[in-house]
Structure 1
Amino acid sequence: MCGQILGPGYLSGIGLTIAGVFGRIAGREAAALAGPAVLTAQRPALADRIAPSAPPPEDPLANARRTMNLCNTCGFCSGLCDVFPAAQLRQGLRDGDLRHLAHLCHDCRSCHADCQYTLPHELAINVPAALAEVRAQDYAGPLPRQAAGPRSAVWLFLFCLFAPVLGTLLLVPPQVLFAPQAGAGAFYRVIPHPVMAAGAALAFAGAGMVLAVRVWRHWRRSGGPATRHSPATLFRALTDAATLRNLGHGAPGCEDRQGRVSPIRRRAHHLAAYGFGLTFLATLAGAWLHSRGQVAPYPVGSLPVLLGAIGGLAMLAGLALLERRSRSADQAPASARMLAEDRFARAQLAVVAGSGLLLLALRETPVMGLMLALHLGSVLGFALLLPFGKLSHGGWRFAALLRHAGERAARRPRPGQADKSDAPGE
């Protein structure tokens, strides 16, 4: 009865507390029996007592396995999010299990604030950082270590950003490039529509295929408990992804600094993500109008322009809030590698959104051609880097949420199954 009310984590914490009290009493009795020499012995310095006995393993999977094994033993954080109940179902913690847990983690960091084994404890548990390192390793995938870091990605993004600008300067006559353009087809007088359409289709189709294959291989390797999938589990995973339930949906929010709890991260993420969704819908609306014979650029009051403008502004607002929250949050549970990945991902999205809004504002001025090339370059860089960076986390996380929903469904009895099992045998 107590276990159902308090949960296994709190019962484990109570048990550890009682064990610690009796252990201290037993230690004092043993010291008294050993004599005064033990009682007067010099205790080690504080720095020696709080230093970890051994540094965490450099291998992200080994460190995550060490961390989650200790979490499974403790169980105190089992009610915080989906990660800890899922870990308790995976006693072996194979590499696929750890990767699943890493992508199921939303980096809320509340567990770090609640954990009694973080530094200065000698176990030095840091669940958010350990799982973030595994995610970063998965994002990079087969890329060499020198090419997998944010620095290489920055150079590639800058090349994609400015190469179309340079190509436009070299290939488009100045009297066309710098002439104020207005009316239907103004964009295509600078960069032909077949070039735009073919470049975007090849970049996004290739990136989407690579990401889909990588997520599918991750799904096959994840393993774990039995799953039972249905439209209901798909709806549950979509709902969890859309509402960011593991970032405090329906609760006060995530730990920020010095015990403060705030929903700002979830709200900022919603602004950025749904703003990006609106810009995608703007692209689809523009393609639909183009198929009906209406050629871009479209009027300010048209659906593509309204969706794109609102989405771009929402993206910039959400990204600014995420950056502010990242700089003010407690850095102890953070992974330095993932912090760099996060910052670069926000910069990418900000350049895409900002260049699109500038193109809208300057589309009837002499700099429209250069702004068009710059915006297309930012979209190209976004697409090429999508399968191997933080911006791919949506696919990985949805796969983890879908598997977790299937595992939960498999643990529930089917309708009528309990009645059949209770029926007397013949």
Structure 2
Amino acid sequence: MFKVKSPPPPLFQRGEKEKPLFTDKEHEKPPFEKGGLGGFEARRVLNICNVCGYCNGFCDVFDAAQRRPALTAADLAHLAHLCHGCRNCLYSCQYAPPHEFAINVPRTLTQMRQHSDAAHIWPPAFAGAFRHSAMTTLLLTSGATALLLGLIWLLEPNPNVRGFYRVLSLPLMVWLAVIPLSWSALALAIGWRRYWRFTRPNAALVTWRILWLALQDVVLMRNLRGGGHGCNDIDERFSHLRRRLHQGLLAGLGLSFAATLTAMFYHHALGWNAPYSIASIPVLLGTSGGIAIAFATTGLLALQWRGDLTPTTRSARTANSTVLLLLWAVATSGLALLIGRESAAMALLLALHLGVVIALFALLPYSKLVHAGYRIIALVIERIER
């Protein structure tokens, strides 16, 4: 049976600044030096967990930590990304605050994860954009939307075409999306490659079976099951809501991607130009995906702000909320554009939607979204070792 305690008191009061996790100055070293991602507090907490062993079975983190008694910098980075923030360990821990050991694994690994993500940003000069993701998102979204509004105002409408292409040509829209997306793909590939080389086990062999099992872990979100009882999404009560909302978000993104691929096939292979009818496959897929994303992000935002702050940090919650709001804006602006595509407001709606989409593409390596690749790598490594 699982032992459940009352939620521990907050570690800091309103208005009080968060205390940094890393007290040994190791975070000031270059990220790939030996120990450059370490921290005395992270090692202290996980060493106690390795001795205790009570939370083994909640998720993969604790079994993986026991296989890593040295808790090197690479070990800590791996464990931080393997942690899904389930929070069961905090509410079940007999050494959680106000105990003098003050064990808070979710918060410790959250700070470790934030530090690791920033350390693997490429180029490193852009790490500040990640640390201040809310301001970066606001500036990029505003700038991209203003650029599109300016282009629509400057360019003459083309009366010979229908729909969106009347105000912005297809090649122009494609290039506006391809440029930031290409840069982001390069930055993500470099960052993820560095992380893989930093955390991979010696003689790691990745097979198709390993990839298939890791993909199942991603889709089923096994580490958000809390050992079967669910996670502590808001407080000490068990729930599967956050896992289901994440799965809904993943499904919505998949449907939206499928809609884009289908529209590309219609345009390039069949010669059918947009806009497509409401009953067409691209519109049905895109509408379903947009509704799923909007619903899931709304639910996750509600959980974010209703939940106890003790297992996380204000900076992490801000980063999470920022990317959820951006995804919500992409989904809702797309749905609004679908509804108003034949109205006089079409040009404005198009600028708003493309503006947030361009910002999303540009922010893929410099927002919370970057964690998706690191987490998949962590799950692959876990499958290799099991």
* TM-score (normalizing by structure 2): 0.85
Alignment counterpart, residue 84 of structure 1, candidates 36, 54, 62: 62
SS at match of 1:262: coil
State the partner residue of 1:239.
216
Aligned-partner Cα distance in 2 for 1:144–1:309: 34
Aligned-partner Cα distance in 1 for 2:21–2:258: 45
Give the AA of the match of 2:348. Answer: L
Quote the offset at 1:254 in angstroms: 0.3
Within a 5 Å distance, the mapping from 1:14-413 to structure 2 comes to 57-58=22-23, 61-62=38-39, 63-140=41-118, 141=121, 142-143=124-125, 146-147=128-129, 148-173=131-156, 176=157, 185-224=162-201, 227-248=204-225, 251-291=228-268, 292-408=270-386
Quote the offset at 1:152 in angstroms: 2.9
**CA deviation digits over 1:352-404, x for unaligned, max 9?**
00110010000001111121121111111001111021112211111110111
Aligned-partner Cα distance in 2 for 1:209–1:55: 31
Quote the offset at 1:116 in angstroms: 1.2
Aligned-partner Cα distance in 2 for 1:236–1:68: 26
- Find the structure with the greater CA-based Rg: 1
Give the AA of the match of 1:137. Answer: H
Q: Assess, with a 3 A threshold, how the Cα gap between structure 1 residues 286 and 144 changes in structure 2: closer, same or farther.
A: closer
SS at match of 2:97: coil
Deviates further, 138-147 or 199-208:
138-147
Quote the offset at 1:250 in angstroms: 7.6
Quote the offset at 1:146 in angstroms: 4.8
Quote the offset at 1:170 in angstroms: 3.4
**Alignment root-mean-square deviation, CA:** 2.4
**CA deviation digits over 1:45-71, x for unaligned, max 9?**
xxxxxxxxx995445841322221221
* TM-score (normalizing by structure 1): 0.77
Quote the offset at 1:158 in angstroms: 2.8
Unaligned runs of 5+ residues in structure 1 are: 1-5, 11-53, 409-426
The share of aligned pairs that are identical, in percent, is 39
Give the AA of the match of 1:270. Answer: Q
Q: Assess, with a 3 A threshold, how the Cα gap between structure 1 residues 270 and 403 changes in structure 2: closer, same or farther.
A: same
Conservation of the 8 A alpha-carbon contact between 2:246 and 2:296: yes
Conservation of the 8 A alpha-carbon contact between 2:258 and 2:285: yes
Q: Assess, with a 3 A threshold, how the Cα gap between structure 1 residues 250 and 118 changes in structure 2: closer, same or farther.
A: closer
Deviates further, 379-388 or 139-148:
139-148
Conservation of the 8 A alpha-carbon contact between 2:86 and 2:226: no
SS at match of 1:295: coil
Aligned-partner Cα distance in 2 for 1:96–1:362: 50
SS at match of 1:296: coil
Quote the offset at 1:157 in angstroms: 2.9
Number of positions where the alignment pairs a residue of Structure 1 with one of Structure 2: 352
**CA deviation digits over 1:320-339, x for unaligned, max 9?**
11112222222211122110
Q: Assess, with a 3 A threshold, how the Cα gap between structure 1 residues 184 and 299 changes in structure 2: closer, same or farther.
A: farther
Quote the offset at 1:229 in angstroms: 2.7
Aligned-partner Cα distance in 2 for 1:375–1:238: 31
Conservation of the 8 A alpha-carbon contact between 1:97 and 1:223: no
Give the AA of the match of 1:382. Answer: L
Q: Assess, with a 3 A threshold, how the Cα gap between structure 1 residues 343 and 268 changes in structure 2: closer, same or farther.
A: same
Aligned-partner Cα distance in 2 for 1:294–1:64: 56
Give the AA of the match of 1:165. Answer: L
Aligned-partner Cα distance in 2 for 1:145–1:295: 41
Quote the offset at 1:135 in angstroms: 1.7
Aligned-partner Cα distance in 2 for 1:194–1:257: 46
Conservation of the 8 A alpha-carbon contact between 2:233 and 2:307: yes
Give the AA of the match of 1:162. Answer: T
Conservation of the 8 A alpha-carbon contact between 2:78 and 2:199: yes
Conservation of the 8 A alpha-carbon contact between 2:256 and 2:286: yes
Quote the offset at 1:228 in angstroms: 3.8
Aligned-partner Cα distance in 1 for 2:377–2:94: 31
Give the AA of the match of 1:266. Answer: R
Give the AA of the match of 1:324. Answer: A
Q: Assess, with a 3 A threshold, how the Cα gap between structure 1 residues 221 and 145 changes in structure 2: closer, same or farther.
A: closer
State the partner residue of 1:413.
none
Give the AA of the match of 1:156. Answer: L
Unaligned runs of 5+ residues in structure 2 are: 4-18, 28-36
